[in-house]
Amino acid sequence: MSEQFGNFTLKHQLNKQPLLILCVSFILGIFLQDEYYLAEKTIYILLFFSFLTLFSFFIKNFYFHKFRYISLLLLFFSLGIFAHFLKMQKPKIPDLQGKEFIYFKSTKKLNSNEKNKRYEVAAWSNKEFFRSVLSMPKEEKDLDFQHYYKGEVYINKIQKPYSDFQFDYGKYLARRDIYFQCYLPNSYQSTKRNDLTLAEKIRQKRLETLKKIDQSALSKRTREFTKGIILADRTEMDKETVQDFQKSGLMHILAISGSHMAVIFWLILILLKPVFPVKLRNIKIVVALVLIWTFAIFIDYGSSVVRSCMMISCYYIYVLLQRKADLLHSMAVAAFAILIADTNQLFDVGFQLSFLAVLGIFWLNKTILKYLPKPKNKFQNTLINIISVSFAAQIATLPLVIYYFHQWSFISILANLVVIPFAEILIVFALLMTVLITFSLQFSWINVLYDFSVTWILKLIHFFADIDFAFHKMIPITLLEVLAAFIIIYYLRFAIQKFNIKNVSKVAYYLAIFIVLRFFLNFRANQINEVLVHQYFKEQIISIKNKDKVQFLISEKSNLEKIKTYLIEPYLTSRRTNNFEIRVIPKETEKIRINGVEYRMK
């Protein structure tokens, strides 16, 4: 009886949301393969078995026919494993180390640091091709897409982190087929290219637009904000502005996200309305879709842009086919399209947060709307919908945001509710300014008005970021706790929808489980006693953990601020404590004895 009920439930869900359920199965297969790396033979056996059981769909008298829906899930699970297996095949990696003379071309500009500009490059050394991250002094001329370059670099393979609490930068880059990092200390030579692809020509046009913005009469902060919010370029944005967005929980405004593309798509539809009558509504939608994809290509089709365009396209394809538009169907089709092209996109934080935000909007938006004032006109309706959508997305993504960034501000929900309506208007204004600057059309009064608007919004964001008591960092959380938090969010909808003892008790029950789980994990972490030697470039840092207290021994010549950011805080977060002290050791000290064991400081 229970088997029949389970099969009926699965059948019902597959009939209701087939694409979503199959997409989840495909995703679980990718996760399994990434975690355990099944052998090729095992994968082919699993695929063969999956296709074999699929015949149960067509043979009613077959014994396994009653499990046909499970066999369909198994097939997509196996396909997910197989697709990621193909993507995980490493290219031939040349043996390069030390000084090398290389030829290279720029493929993407990365965020600069205090001393260097950084790029992703495609390079050749002794006719061996490889991809690398390349750093060069800030005073050197920028790279572009119109030239090949050559120069002598220091090169090495990207190493794995020495400890479990550090971010695995090597694995992150390996998902993009990058296994090396280079440093170009001296000048380089360049040669004009005559083999630019269409994509590279578009990237070059974007680069030229960025340079025009840099040369405009706008203030520096306004220029950097415009480049970030419209052209997805934050490579030169000042550290303080980025920190304000991070601390206020508004970092998504600087990413070209779904809200950006939705605003731009909506604006295009409004501009096309006088051109196309109601009878040609479908043509208007097609033209708008073509234009947003053109825009996506122009801004170097970053992951977040492609995701947004894909979801918008899938949604409106339903409209064009005169079928009822379904948010979850559109999301599942978009996810399938992206993951089939590149299964590694699943491990992109932006991918996970984007689709989770859409799920949150689907799950919570209508419920939240019931508690908001009824709109009396279109403007109020738009404003209230922005508030409800923002609130739903914030709640749904909160556990994952804390898991990846280990920080959150209690003021972020309020900051989003206040800032996002203005940000939506500012996106349109920034797009207009970008178009004007691209065609070398500048009007002083528009520049002044735009500068004022950006300065005002940045001051508002800084106001929220400056509320220190609301901002918390080094928040420890495990995947198990994240899962418990998502279960709470799942039942939260029912408690909000119908406030009664039954629904509230379910939320309270899982909240209690979450609290007990955190208490247990904190207790277990506090029992760890250890002495570790940490490596930060050429420096040795020693940590001594006794119960919940940690002492760090660092040399007096060390850069304390950077060590705190990149080593001390991640370690404390992983060990679930913020009780620590820093002991500075004289720079001439080479060795130190702890509990009878001698450790080197150099």
Q: How many angstroms separate the CA atoms of 62 and 74, rounded?
A: 18
Q: What is the pLDDT of residue 6?
A: 41
Q: What is the pLDDT of residue 514?
A: 97
Confirm if 244 and 458 have CB atoms less than 8 A apart: yes
**In which band, very low, low, confident or very high, does the pLDDT at 62 lie, cut at 50, 70 and 90?**
low
pLDDT in tens, 240-279: 888 898 888 888 787 766 677 888 888 888 888 888 887 8
Written as one letter, the residue type at 405 is F
What mean pLDDT is predicted for residues 573-584? 92
pLDDT in tens, 167-178: 888 899 999 899
pLDDT cut 90: percent of the chain above it:
44
379 or 142, which is more confident? 142
Query: What is the residue extent of each domain of the chain?
Result: 2-87, 98-195, 479-526, 530-600
Nearest to 306 by CA among 341, 270, 254, 268: 341
What mean pLDDT is predicted for residues 100-110? 93
What mean pLDDT is predicted for residues 383-399? 87
Q: What is the pLDDT of residue 493?
A: 93
Query: Quick one: which H or E segment has residue 2?
Result: helix 2-16
Nearest to 138 by CA among 115, 108, 105, 110: 115
pLDDT at residue 450 greater than cutoff 90: yes
Q: How many angstroms separate the CA atoms of 428 and 385, rounded?
A: 18
**In which band, very low, low, confident or very high, does the pLDDT at 111 lie, cut at 50, 70 and 90?**
confident
Which range is most confident: 404-413, 430-439, 476-485?
476-485
Rounded to an integer, what is the distance from CA 233 to the centroid of its chain? Answer: 15
What mean pLDDT is predicted for residues 1-23? 59
**In which band, very low, low, confident or very high, does the pLDDT at 587 lie, cut at 50, 70 and 90?**
confident
Q: How many angstroms separate the CA atoms of 558 and 191, rounded?
A: 42
Weakest mean pLDDT among 311-315, 320-324, 417-421, 513-517:
320-324
Q: What is the pLDDT of residue 5?
A: 37
Q: How high does pLDDT run on average in the chain?
A: 87
Pick the CATH number of 98-195 from 2.40.50, 3.30.310, 2.60.60, 1.10.150: 2.40.50
What mean pLDDT is predicted for residues 187-199? 90
Q: What is the pLDDT of residue 302?
A: 66
